[in-house]
Structures are given as C-alpha cells and as structure tokens.
C-alpha cells in the first residue's frame, strides 16, 4: 500500500494550528530545518505532537532536523 500526503513544515510553535489544523490530507511533519531554529522548539515536541493529534491530522512520518553528525551539540 502506498499512502500519499504533503510535507508540511513550521519554524515557530505559533504556526502549528495554521499548518496542521485543517489540512484534510495526511502529512509528513517537517521539523525546523536549521539547528538553531530547531533548538528553540525541541523542548516543546510533546506539546506539538499533542496539538497535531488534537486536530485529527494523520501523520505519515516526521522529518527530523538536519545537522552534521559531527556537531558537538548532538
């Protein structure tokens, strides 16, 4: 079975409802692309997941932040 959806990204927590609230199709949740932006939302990932679930949005996958694996912050 193949499921199609859209890749939906966000940079700030206040964008979650607009981006995932009423999309009507399955999504890939794309976490903030740059490490410095991701760091500010990382502590809120549980809250973000609860919000997306509360909208009834089907999540196909989560696209993680991209950072070098040699970065000492990981």
Confirm if 30 and 61 have CB atoms less than 8 A apart.
no
Instruction: Give pLDDT tens digits for 20-62.
Output: 998 999 999 998 887 778 888 888 999 999 999 999 999 999 9
Task: Extract the tokens encoding 20.
Answer: 């995932």
Ordered alpha helix ranges (H), the chain: 16-20, 35-42, 45-54
Distance, in Å, from the CA atom of 74 to the CA atom of 70, rounded to the nearest integer, reads 8
- Tokens representing 46 are 């549980």
pTM: 0.76
Q: What are the structure tokens assigned to 44, written together?
A: 């809120």
């Amino acid at each position: 079975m193949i499921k199609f959806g859209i890749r939906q990204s966000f940079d700030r927590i206040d964008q979650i409802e607009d981006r995932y609230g009423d999309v009507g199709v399955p999504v890939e949740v794309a976490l903030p692309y740059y490490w410095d932006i991701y760091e500010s939302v990382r502590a809120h990932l549980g809250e973000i997941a609860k919000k997306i679930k509360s909208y009834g949005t089907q999540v196909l996958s989560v696209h993680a932040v991209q950072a070098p694996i040699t970065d000492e912050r990981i």
